[in-house]
Structure 1
Amino acid sequence: MPSSLPPAGRDLPSARRLYSARDRLYDGFIHLLRYPQGLQRFFEQADFLRFHLKVLDAGCGTGATTLALHAALNARHLLPAHFAAFDLTPRMLSRFWAALAQHPVPNLEIVAADVLALDKLPADWHDFDLIVSAAMLEYLPKARLAEALAGLRQRLAPDGTFVLFISRQSIWMDWLIRRWWNANLYTRAELEAALEQAGFTTRRFTRFPGLYGYLNWWGHVVIACR
């Protein structure tokens, strides 16, 4: 795993500092909320999964999304798949590597990278069938959300799918997410505008299913296509 990030035209951002200090707390927080299990159940019911998916986890953190997606593909007998993942914070990636010792994911590449500097990714990281970004893009300045979305869209295959999990604007999340985790919150209208500006032609909002419906209080779930 790379020990440092390629230059991205920015100093150490606040999100990287935050998660370098709170990587263990974050892992405990999402497991307390059963967020990984909610992700897995969402993917188990998704209509866009198939054999031999080429997947990018943009802002993978400690690996919750990749691990949940791999488990869902396995449960639906849709493996093999090829996985790629990146995150800004090497401390988070270290925890991801540790989790892989207990839950191996074959055909997985991981690098440290910045979503605003995707040109630094490996040359063959393009034409993904599925790109997922969970709880990462809210750490960008709002003025740069559409830029990041457009960069990820360019990495999709022509018939690829983009899935976004992102924090919702509400009085409850203002305290929990904006104040405690220093992240932005988004209304549906803001996301619609950013996705349109980024060039996504098809967008639909959906929800965490069943017993994990309480996670919808936290965030939006958006499925978009090129």
Structure 2
Amino acid sequence: MITVDFSLFPVGPGDRVLDLGCGGGRHAFEVYRRGADIVAFDQNENDLAEVADMFAAMRAAGEAPAESEAAAETVTGDALDTPFGDDSFDRVIASEIFEHIPHDTAAMAELHRVLRPGGIAAVTVPSWLPERLCWALSEDYHTNEGGHVRIYTRAELEAKLKAAGFLIGPHHHAHALHAPYWWIKCAVGTSNEDHPLASAYHRMLVWDMMKAPKTTRTTERLLNPLIGKSVVVYLRKPHRGSAESTG
């Protein structure tokens, strides 16, 4: 399930991309397919082991460039203190991580540090309305270990990123059809995997992701501005001494 729109976040051969807090690697795999060098970064070593296995499987299946053409690696670490030098990456993705980090502004400053001047970042967080309903429906949803510690408005997110030194670019919402699933989960119990309604809706989502029928794709596109589960903001690190704006 890809949240970033790669027409607004172009990557390709010659680009070095960091997927900061990559989780299961969904964006890292897409970057690799597009021929860019990718570093999948996360603090969860088990997730990274699975991501590394998938990189290898992609190479074996011919779904990614040969190693001589593009590199893919996994790195373990803390988003507040990454092991990369200044200006190390042409692109950075930070998808659904800042809502988990108490010191989010420190992580944003680190993202800014490792992105080269003129480079582009894509940041995604849960949208305010769908997330607010989840918090209202379930305490477990946001109090479990490693859970969400804040709800962003887009204005707040963009203000923090601007304060970190970024130029704010376009934005959009994504995954509207996933919002009702999480509302159901929060209403019946976030760990209640066998509830008939939650199970049925999950099967529909899997079917939609596999088949991508025109009806549901159009429905989601129309609903995204209203109940999109995620908001995506695109940013640029200005060239040194530049006063340019992407807004």
Q: Does 1:100 align with 2:62?
A: no
Question: Once superposed, what is the RMSD of the aligned Cα atoms?
Answer: 2.6
Cα distance change of structure 1 residues 59 and 162 upon mapping to structure 2, 3 Å threshold: same
Task: Using the TM superposition, give the Cα deviation of residue 63 of structure 1 relative to its aligned residue in structure 2, in angstroms.
Answer: 1.0
Specify the structure having the higher radius of gyration (Cα): 2
Q: Does 1:182 align with 2:147?
A: yes
Kindly indicate whether the alpha-carbon contact (under 8 Å) linking 1:59 and 1:85 is maintained by their aligned counterparts in 2: yes
Deviates further, 91-100 or 192-201 = 91-100
Cα distance change of structure 1 residues 195 and 132 upon mapping to structure 2, 3 Å threshold: same
Pairs within 5 Å for 1:1-226 = 35-36=1-2, 38-39=3-4, 42-43=5-6, 45-46=7-8, 48-71=10-33, 73=34, 79=35, 81-104=36-59, 106=67, 107-118=71-82, 121-123=83-85, 126-141=87-102, 144-170=103-129, 171-174=132-135, 175=137, 178=142, 182-183=147-148, 184-208=150-174, 211=217, 213=221, 217-226=228-237
- Give the structure-1-normalised TM-score: 0.67
Task: Using the TM superposition, give the Cα deviation of residue 50 of structure 1 relative to its aligned residue in structure 2, in angstroms.
Answer: 4.1
Superposed structure 1 runs of 4+ greater than 6 Å apart: none
How far does the alpha carbon of each residue in 1:168-216 deviate from its partner, in whole angstroms, 9 at most, with x for none? 2223343586367721321112102211221112333224499264676
Q: Give, as a single letter, the amino acid of the residue that structure 1 aligns with 2:88.
A: D
User: What is aligned with 2:213?
Assistant: none
Kindly indicate whether the alpha-carbon contact (under 8 Å) linking 1:127 and 1:158 is maintained by their aligned counterparts in 2: no
Kindly indicate whether the alpha-carbon contact (under 8 Å) linking 2:9 and 2:120 is maintained by their aligned counterparts in 1: no
The number of equivalent residue pairs is: 176
Cα distance change of structure 1 residues 197 and 178 upon mapping to structure 2, 3 Å threshold: same
| Gap regions ≥5 residues in structure 2 | 176-215, 238-247
Distance 1:60 1:68 in 2: 12
Distance 2:173 2:126 in 1: 13
Deviates further, 200-209 or 108-117 = 200-209
Deviates further, 102-111 or 87-96 = 102-111
How far does the alpha carbon of each residue in 1:22-42 deviate from its partner, in whole angstroms, 9 at most, with x for none? xxxxxxxxxxxxx24x55xx2
Task: Using the TM superposition, give the Cα deviation of residue 122 of structure 1 relative to its aligned residue in structure 2, in angstroms.
Answer: 4.6
